[in-house]
Amino acid sequence: MSVPEQFKTGVVFTKINSDRKQKQVKFRLDVDQGQILWESKKYGAVLVETIKEFRTGSNAAYDLAQLGLPFFDIPRFISTIYIRSGSYKTLNVLVPTPEILRQWENAVRALYTTRRDLMRGLDNVEMREAVWQKMYWKGADVGGDNKLDLKEVENLCLRLNISAPPTVIKKLFDEADSQRTGFLDFESFKQFVKSIKRRPEIDALYARICDGSPSKIFDFQAFEMFMKGQQQSDCSADTLKAIFVKYATQPVEGQVPVLSTTAFTTFLLSSDNAVTASASGSHQVTQNMSHPLSHYYISSSHNTYLIGHQLIGESTVEGYIRALLAGCRSVELDIWDGGNNKEPVIKHGNTLTSDIPLRDICDAINRYAFVASPYPVIISAEVHLGLESQDKMVEVLKECFGDRLVHDEDLLQDGKPKKKIDALPSVESLKEKFLLKAKNLYVIDSAATASLATSTPPATIEVEEPSDTSDSEAEATSKVAKVRGELKSFGNKLRATFGSKKGSRPTTPSNDQRPPKPKMSIKLASLIVYTVGVKCRGLPPATPTDGVQSENAPHYEPEHIFSLSENKAKRMIKDDMLSVIKHCQNHLVRVYPKGLRVNSTNYEPHEFWAAGAQVVALNWQTTDFGYLINQAMFQENGRCGYILKPPALTDFNTKLLTQRTMHFFDVTIISAQQLPTPKRSTKSELLKKNPYVDPLVEVSLHVPDWSSTPFIPTESKAAYSPSHKATTTEPTSSRKVSFKTSIVKDNGFNPVWQEEICLPFDCLGGRESGMMDLVFVKFVVWQKGKDDDGDEPLAVYCAPLGCLKSGFRHLPLHDSQGSQHLFSTLFVEIGIRDVA
């Protein structure tokens, strides 16, 4: 790629820190290393593949204001958002001229695109190899003389986690140094790299395929047998032929085209052999998007405004930007009065979190909502406002979102709430629309807690229901409430014993004396159309007696949505899972974390997805296992934020939903490639003489709790027992079963295990139900001695089990925050077996 020479040698920009201090600093682009570099006493580097966003022009106006810079600086300002050590960082600079800004942004974007494409689908092996070679060549050439001596090569092997005796390294060095110069130039370095990157496990597989072929060579017939057999491919013969020709060597006259070992390795790493559709790098929406909203899982965020602790964290627009750019389709607003006749603000209730103007949040949402996906965004609002402030809130929403905001001015008919809809609209019909979810008491069934008050003006309505947030906070403060209750009881006993004294606190006023209940603006009500928040009043039975639903059974309109804390949702699912599934067939249900999760931890969302709940909200600021499952789920279907629910749930197939099938997940952990080095934080770790990685792999299945007892084989238990070197767990009530391989000593570059694993699991409805998409498999590469859940893994990969393709696949490995490692993969063979 072409980069202006001045950016390679260095150009002076003005760097602005978060404390608004400015400094003249020389910046440069290292194309081979893929880095933005600058002079710094600390760590002055950004790996371009960790960049999440560039902000320039109007998109950077908010950042400019936060840094106290004048608006006329916008044509020279760029803010680069990236991740380092799991945390979001910002690089803010002013460049000399708008033209230099344009050139700099184009150069960085081009470099970013190149490296991003290398990660997506593991495609273009030749380019990947060229980038890898240049990156490590430059790092190894300490002297800068464009040649490597033996010592520099030994140091390179150390960096690459290659633990080989000096005699072996010397032998490979001499073989590459064919001219006997005593050093390697770049061409001979490439030969050395080819030797150290040999894949004996692929050589063995290649030989096995050839031996099984009638012609004893890797021709198309052998390739087709491999694809139909081991890979379980459903591609047509013509499609397979096209793939084969793509990788086969050009045939000599009179000879048939064949795959060489190198070509076969290239194929195994390519997007044509991706383990899932998302791993192929495809961003195409593959599912039917014409179903109603209730038929989809929706990528959802809880307390989106927070980027940290629930009680003392910072409220910021960044939470919304990060979530929306990652494909989130439901965000949360906690809206409070701004005071002094100001516009409303966003904050987290009565906590010590900071607050931010509603308009700033809405501007950010409008700007970023449809960058990653065109499909609708649900804004789940907790409204803590008086009438006047509610109208200000409506003003802000309309000004920020314009025609994208769904609304219905014709709310009443003959003075009564009119019938709304027969069914929820399709996702496709709501493209690039905002849906406001909040309490709309004009359209709530009068059997619930709302009614039109004749004594109030026509533009207001009484609000009686507690908010979702207050329900959640009630859980967190239950102990406090208990103590208060005990104190109140003690006080009552004292008053009963000694009598009321003059000047004592007056008794509680009667209902007539109590202040009027808060009211709701009809302007706000007109914005709440397809996502009307109501209180859960129980559910009608999924299969009513005699096929007739009782008149007393709770009734919900299609647009009604209620929110449940995770604990209440679990109780309802445990009591009557089929009724929850039936309700979720035509209605939306939102689930949110319990209030006791003050550290912003997450539950595992697939437990609620299995019951049909669509809007299962998580704390996106915490990259724990619950977040990892959510990201794995919504990587599919073009990463658009909507996933069609399994057929058993959308069709409410009672036959499938009452049937449980047993299976084995068979996986062979073959090898890993170029694992990252472990982070070293303590002094003893930094001083450790042995820098090599001692990796092991843990494979775990996470199954929804869809029956009272997990599948634990008895007579066939030996069929899934691991080797004596490894460890395994039987399925537990939490439905996790896992296996750990043995440890490979001193090799993070190309460790080989060749260990077979067989994990049992059960599935609701079997393969045809689609419910296997709600079983998740996680591969974790650990460093020896640091293989517990509280430790930082070397690398992870997580995916829905039903999305995995069978056969020999390379899994792209990520760090614990979900960022993909550029060159790290895990080579496995996988399959699913039914238990007869």
In this structure, what are the phi and psi dihedrals at residue 779, rounded to the nearest 5 degrees? -110, 125
Mean pLDDT over 9-25 rounds to: 93
> Which range has highest mean pLDDT (84-93, 112-121, 209-218)?
209-218
First to last CA, the chain: 56
Q: How far is CA 781 from the centre of its chain?
A: 19
**Integer Cα distance of 143 and 537 in angstroms:** 74
Q: How confident is the model at residue 469 (pLDDT cuts 50, 70, 90)?
A: very low
- The maximal CA–CA distance of the chain, rounded, in angstroms, is 114
Which DSSP symbol is given to 466? P
Averaged pLDDT for residues 299-325? 76
Residue 585 has pLDDT above 80, yes or no: yes
Question: pLDDT-derived band of residue 504, with 50, 70 and 90 as boundaries?
Answer: very low
List b or e across 190-207, with b for residues whose CB sees 16 or more CB atoms inside 10 angstroms.
Answer: eebbeebbebebbeebbe
Please give the residue that has the higher pLDDT: either 616 or 439. 616
| Percent of the residues in the chain that have a pLDDT greater than 70, as a whole number | 79
Lowest mean pLDDT: which of 424-433, 482-491, 640-649?
Answer: 482-491
> Which of helix, strand or coil describes residue 576?
helix
Look at the alpha carbons of 296, 776, 87, 332 in this order and tell me if their dihedral is positive or negative. positive
- What's the gap between Cα 483 and its chain centre? 40
Instruction: In whole angstroms, give the CA distance from residue 50 to residue 449.
Output: 50
Band of residue 729 on the pLDDT scale cut at 50, 70, 90: low
Higher per-residue confidence, 508 vs 659:
659
Q: So what's the pLDDT on residue 154?
A: 86
Q: How confident is the model at residue 249 (pLDDT cuts 50, 70, 90)?
A: confident
772 contacts: CB under 8 Å, gap ≥ 6: 763, 800, 801, 802, 832
User: Does the pLDDT value for residue 511 go beyond 80?
Assistant: no
Map 705-734 to HEC letters. CCCCCCCCCCCCHHHHCCCCCCEECCCCCC
The Cα–Cα gap between 755 and 742 comes to: 8
pLDDT at residue 256, as a whole number:
87
User: Using N-to-C axis directions, what is the helix angle for 387-401 and 358-368, rounded to 10°?
Assistant: 30
Distance of CA 142 to the CA centre of its chain: 39
Domain boundaries, the chain: 5-118, 125-196, 200-273, 293-474+517-542+553-645, 658-834
Give the pLDDT of residue 410.
76
Q: Residue 120 region, left (φ>0) first, then alpha (ψ -120 to 50), else beta?
A: beta
Is-contact 650 758, C-beta < 8 A?
no
Q: pLDDT, tens digit, for every residue of 180-238?
A: 999 998 888 888 888 888 899 999 999 999 998 888 999 999 999 999 999 999 999 99
List residues bridging with 306 in a β-sheet: 315
Report the pLDDT value the prediction gives residue 324, as an integer from 0 to 100.
94
pLDDT band, residue 454 (cuts 50/70/90) = very low
Q: Which of 45-59, 151-165, 781-795 has the lowest average pLDDT? A: 151-165
Separation between Cα atoms, residue 830 and residue 832, nearest integer Å: 7
293-474+517-542+553-645: same fold as 125-196? no
3-class secondary-structure state, position 381 = strand
Say which residue, 533 or 129, is predicted with more confidence. 533
DSSP string spanning 206-235?
Answer: HHHHHHHSTTSS-SHHHHHHHHHTTT----
Once rounded to an integer, what is the mean pLDDT over residues 475-500? 51
Confidence of residue 345 (pLDDT cuts 50, 70, 90): very high
For the chain, give the percent of residues with pLDDT over 90: 50
CATH 3.30.1330.180 fits 125-196, yes or no: no
Name the CATH code of domain 293-474+517-542+553-645 (choices 1.10.3720.10, 3.30.70.260, 3.20.20.190, 2.60.40.10).
Answer: 3.20.20.190
Residue 403 has what pLDDT? 96
Residue 731 has pLDDT above 60, yes or no: no
Contact by Cβ (8 Å): 619, 303: yes
CA distances from 457 to 387, 393, 442, 454, 527 (A): 11, 20, 13, 8, 19
| Mean pLDDT of all residues in 770-780 | 96
Contact assessment for residue 381 and residue 438, using Cβ atoms and an 8 Å cutoff: yes
Length of the chain: 836
Q: Is the pLDDT of residue 480 over 80?
A: no
Which pair of structure tokens corresponds to residue 762?
């059960």
CATH class of the domain at 658-834 = mainly beta
Cα angle value 653/655/659 (rounded, 5°): 120
Collapsed DSSP state (helix, strand, coil) of residue 345: strand
- Phi/psi for 263 (5° steps) reads -65, -40
* pLDDT per residue as tens digits for the range 277-311: 776 666 789 999 999 999 999 999 998 877 754 44
pLDDT of residue 449: 41
Confidence of residue 493 (pLDDT cuts 50, 70, 90): low
pLDDT band at 119 (very low <50, low <70, confident <90, very high): low
What pLDDT does 367 receive?
93
For the domain with range 200-273, which CATH number is right: 1.20.120, 1.10.238, 1.10.3450, 3.90.1150? 1.10.238
Q: Which residues, in sequence order, are CB contacts of 765 under 8 Å at separation 6+?
A: 646, 648, 653, 656, 657, 659, 660, 661, 771
Measured CA to CA in angstroms, residue 594 lies from 591, 599, 617 at distances of 9, 11, 11
Q: Which two tokens stand for residue 298?
A: 């929706």
Residue ranges with strand state E in 56-155: 77-84, 87-94
Dihedral sign for Cα 327, 705, 279, 753, please: positive
Average pLDDT of the residues in 629-635: 95
Global pTM reads 0.83
pLDDT at 124 > cutoff 90: no
Predicted pLDDT of residue 311: 41
Q: How confident is the model at residue 447 (pLDDT cuts 50, 70, 90)?
A: very low
| Residue 329 Cα distances to 54, 207, 293, 302, 585, angstroms | 21, 48, 12, 11, 19
Report how far residue 59's alpha carbon sits from residue 367's, in angstroms, rounded to the nearest whole number.
8
Tell me what the mean pLDDT of segment 310-337 comes to: 82
Mean pLDDT of the chain: 83
Pick the CATH number of 5-118 from 2.30.29.30, 3.90.550.10, 1.10.287.610, 3.30.420.40: 2.30.29.30
State the average pLDDT over residues 41-46: 85
Res. 709 pLDDT band, cuts 50 70 90: low
Alpha-carbon distance of 348 to 303, in angstroms, equals 8
Residue 744 above 90 pLDDT? yes
Of 115, 129, 2, nearest in space to 49 by CA = 115
Between 679 and 677, the more confident residue is 677
* Per-residue pLDDT band at 456 (split at 50, 70, 90): very low
Lowest-confidence pick of 71-80, 216-225, 537-546, 684-693: 684-693
Query: What tokens were used for 469?
Result: 């947030």
